[in-house]
Amino acid sequence: MRQPYEFEKKFGDQIYRCSSCGFCRAVCPVFGLTSRPALNARGKMLILQEVLEGRAELSEELVDTLFQCTTCANCSVHCPSGVEVPEIIKAVRKDMVGSGTCHPAFAGMKEILDRHTNIYGEDEPEDFGRERNRRAEYVYFIGCVGQYREDEATEETLRLLDRLEVDYTLIDEVCCSGVLEDVGFQMNQDLVDRNVRAILATGAKTVITGCPYCYRTFNNKPRYAALKEAGVRVIHISQFLKDFDWDVRTDKVVTYHDPCDLGRHTGIYEEPRETIRKIAPNFVELPNARAEAVCCGAGGGVRAAFAANSIAMARKRLEEVESVGADVLLTDCNSCLHNLANAKLRRQKFKVFTIAQFLNRLLDEARVRPGAKEVA
Amino acid sequence: MKDDVKASLRELVGDANYTDQLIDLIAYSKDGSEHRHRPDAAVWVEDSGQVSEILKLANREKFPVIPRGAGTGLAGLAVAQSGGLIMDMSRMNAIREINIEDRVAVVEPGVVYADLERALEPHGFFFPPDPASGKVCTLGGNVATNAGGIKGAKYGTTKDYVMALEVVLPEGRVIRTGSRCMKTSSGYDLTRLFVGSEGTLGVVTEITLKINPRPPLSATAMATFDDVEAAGRAVSEIMHSGILPSVLELMDREGLRAVNTVTGADFPEVEAILVAETDGYTEEETVYQMKRVVDIFKKNGARSVKRAKSREEAEALWAARKAAGGAFTRINNNLFVEDLSVPMSRVPEALKVISEISGKYDLRIPTVGHAGDGNLHPCISIDARDPDQVRRMHEASAELYEKIVAMGGTLTGEHGIGLAKAPFMSMEHEEGTLALMRSLKRVMDPNNILNPGKMALDG
């Protein structure tokens, strides 16, 4: 008898509860791109059933499917049998890594975070010309993508916070390291400790994250429990901005892409829309919005490991943006922003921004004083 | 399958459309039923020319070919029982023509039911069968199974809408059947032969469907009954009253109990509920029909009748029935969805039989049904890892089929025979009928290439 897998202990029953109805075909972004049943949730569950029955091994042959899941949760939200596919996939990846099977991109991510402070292995963080680690009411936590890839969006977000005269500080932040658990490893305790120490040292009672994924990690991972114990509240920038009024408007047709980490995983659908509706009377929803939103293709390590498919998924999402005739696509996740902006074709004339970035631009264009007042 | 055959297949469809990787073979090993067997390889086909070449190769090299759509079937139709090649039709997914003047839609077999719905909606038209898997199932699969859905009583099933087909015959010849004329009496009705033939006689590569104008208005009501037979009598009376409800659905006490247990809802656990929808072009017409339905509910002793006054209220009345599919799968690890159909007058009797069998074999069998057309889905809920439960499930099914057939019913209303019910074909069809089916199969597919093992045609 083989030793039971770790994933089996927690998810064995669920893997068998998949009734093979195939309804996940309608919503899986990887399947939508490839029409390959091995890559959608049903295929993955069938493969895992065979693994549990000893008819297949957790080997290299399975990497293409088990490591190619954006963990967007569109399947589990729509699963009639309630199978929590992303959680299962993450657990399986741990067993695979434990037995020495891993996608090289994920192994590389682990190595980088062993040696560096962020997923890009860059040692020179952008300081955005602002003082760090000072005592303040709020900490603004940028996240790796906002820090090293979408620094323009971050700069504009910070300028918006300045305009609103928010008493915030940046910190010597490092990767929240939550992503390691998604790709088969343990979180990095050293990185966790550094973040917790830096946040607590500011005396701030609220952390505003620019990244929905960091938001989830801080709020849900037991390793970050010290924040809650110290009475520190962690919110996402969309939750912070929703309580302001704005005296700027745009005539442009604006649409919004729900990030999976913010929407399906966290239930934050309304807050971004509250802000958008205040500034964009010509707001239109994408054909697949809220819980139905189609993933941009960046999550679950897919952008690093299966770059071509990741970009192609983003292109499919951008087709929806074209179909509603939007001038501006807003989202509220730097990772989505990054993938969608990279995937945008030259003929697609719409612009892609985060909500904070777009707000700051409107205020720049209007050349008005902040004019914004907190109503909450 | 030999390596040189695999190489030929790869050459025929191109590297990107061929696979024999382990993950694909496992993913293609199963459909929505409990049947499971790995194929040797799979291809995604792009046109009838490729299908033809592959079938010719299959005849030369004698390997089975199993056409497959979304693989949502519940009877094992798309499972490679004896290995061979899965022919995935889902990338042939173009809607070739929507012609409102002729009232037809011409589609490739891989078009998803819901995608055709979306394309027809702006024209105010629809393709009515409305199978429960409509969001993912393909029209090719609908044709292969002669799929139905909740609108059968008024609108019929797939067979009532397929006007013409392009089919690649097992030996590779491409033919066309039927006509896009609304009426034709020309020659054998080969179109009907292929509809419901489960991929055993040919591979459908183009479908011409009749489409219907969609009535814009509907009315909804739900009735509860303390007596299943009274609910059955109400159904029967409605269906010969001159009114044809667009939907008339039933759920039994065990079903309501399952929904309450799993979802935490608080639906009354009565013996049966009936949900009815009428549709029409004017409010008067729609409401008149519903009034008649409600009168018949009351006359037959309904404990309560609720009429929806708004879309929200209609959704509330549908809530229990709509929750059934998800709730039933969560009672236990496995759910076997049966698909029996009986003459309208026998619905109460069929429900009684299901209840008795549930008791006799100590199995939970919540039941939903398209009462308006006599099609019932007793759903047997078990943990398939327990051999004793599996044995009881099989024995219960066999007894159920026997009793249903004995009352003039049929083994399957809309899912097909496939592997699941192949052993029971002789229960329903007499020897001469089965012999003719087998002769047809031999004439059309002498090497038994296409989807072997299904529908008891090999016997």
Complex confidence, ipTM: 0.95
- Determine the pLDDT at residue A15: 95
- Determine the pLDDT at residue A363: 95
Query: CA B237: distance to chain centroid?
Result: 26
Residue B412 in any domain: the answer is no
Q: Give per-residue pLDDT as tens, B19-47.
A: 999 999 999 999 999 999 999 999 999 99
For residues A312-338, average pLDDT: 98
**A85 & A157 share domain:** no
Split at pLDDT 50, 70, 90, the class of B442 is: very high
Q: Which residue of B has its CA nearest to A56?
A: B22
Instruction: Enumerate the β-bridge partners of residue A234.
Output: A207
**B191 & B224 share domain:** no
**A280 & A228 share domain:** no
- Determine the pLDDT at residue A368: 55
A87 touches chain B (CB under 8 A): no
Q: Which residue of B has its CA nearest to A83?
A: B330
Q: Give per-residue pLDDT as tens, A265-287.
A: 999 999 999 999 999 999 999 99
Which CATH number goes with the domain that contains A321? 3.40.50
Which CATH number goes with the domain that contains B175? 3.30.465.10
**A277 & A306 share domain:** yes
Q: Which of A283, A322, A275, A317 is nearest to A299 (CA)?
A: A317
User: Which residues on chain A are in Cβ contact (under 8 Å) with B333?
Assistant: 13, 16-17
Q: How distant is the Cα of A326 from the closest Cα of chain B, in angstroms?
A: 21
For residues A297-320, average pLDDT: 96
Residue B433 in any domain: the answer is no
Q: Give per-residue pLDDT as tens, A340-368.
A: 999 999 999 999 999 999 999 999 998 75
For residues B313-319, average pLDDT: 90
Q: Do A21 and B330 touch (CB under 8 A)?
A: no
**A258 & A172 share domain:** no
**A237 & A256 share domain:** no
SS (H, E, C) chain A: CCCCCHHHHHHHHHHHHCCCCCHHHHCCHHHHHHCCHHHCHHHHHHHHHHHHCCCCCCCHHHHHHHCCCCCCCHHHHHCCCCCCHHHHHHHHHHHHHHCCCCCHHHHHHHHHHHHCCCCCCCCCCCCCCCCECCCCCEEEECCHHHHHCCHHHHHHHHHHHHHCCCCEEECCCCCCCHHHHHCCCCCCHHHHHHHHHHHHHCCCCEEEECCHHHHHHHHHCHHHHHHHHCCCEEEEHHHHHCCEECCCCCCCCEEEECCCCCCCCCCCCHHHHHHHHHHCCCECCCCCCHHHCCCCCCCCCHHHHCHHHHHHHHHHHHHHHHHCCCCEEEECCHHHHHHHHHHCCCCCCCEEEEHHHHHHHHHHHHCCCCCCEECC
**A214 & A259 share domain:** no
Residue B426 in any domain: the answer is no
Residue A374 pLDDT > 60: no
Q: Do A56 and B91 touch (CB under 8 A)?
A: no
**A218 & A294 share domain:** no
CA dist., res. A11 & res. B130, Å (int): 34
Which CATH number goes with the domain that contains B57? 3.30.43.10
User: Which residues on chain B are in Cβ contact (under 8 Å) with A103?
Assistant: none
Residue A376 pLDDT > 90: no
Split at pLDDT 50, 70, 90, the class of A370 is: low
Residue A38 in any domain: the answer is yes
Residue B451 in any domain: the answer is no
Full-model pTM: 0.95
3-state secondary structure of B405: helix
Residue B442 in any domain: the answer is no
Q: How distant is the Cα of A22 from the closest Cα of chain B, in angstroms?
A: 6
A50 touches chain B (CB under 8 A): yes
Residue B413 pLDDT > 90: yes
Q: Give per-residue pLDDT as tens, A121-164.
A: 998 888 899 999 999 999 999 999 999 999 999 999 999 999 99
Residue B457 in any domain: the answer is no
Q: Residues near A338 by Cβ (< 8 Å), separated by ≥ 6? A: A145, A149, A150, A298
Structural domain for B27, as ranges: 3-88
Considering its fold, how many domains does chain B have in total?
A: 3
**A149 & A233 share domain:** yes
Residue B296 in any domain: the answer is yes
Split at pLDDT 50, 70, 90, the class of B63 is: very high
Residue B399 in any domain: the answer is yes
Q: Which of A91, A62, A81 is nearest to A24 (CA)?
A: A81
Q: Residues near B284 by Cβ (< 8 Å), separated by ≥ 6? A: none
Which CATH number goes with the domain that contains B389? 3.40.462.10
- Determine the pLDDT at residue A126: 84
Residue A259 pLDDT > 70: yes
- Quote the mean pLDDT of chain A: 95
**B241 & B354 share domain:** yes
For residues B137-149, average pLDDT: 97
3-state secondary structure of B409: coil
Give percent above pLDDT 90 in chain A: 94
Size of interface A-B (CB pairs under 8 A): 87
Q: Residues near B60 by Cβ (< 8 Å), separated by ≥ 6? A: none
Residue from the list B27, B91, B330 with its beta carbon closest to the beta carbon of A38? B27
Residue A123 in any domain: the answer is no
User: Which residues on chain A are in Cβ contact (under 8 Å) with B15?
Assistant: none
Residue A10 pLDDT > 80: yes
Structural domain for A75, as ranges: 6-102
- Determine the pLDDT at residue A1: 65
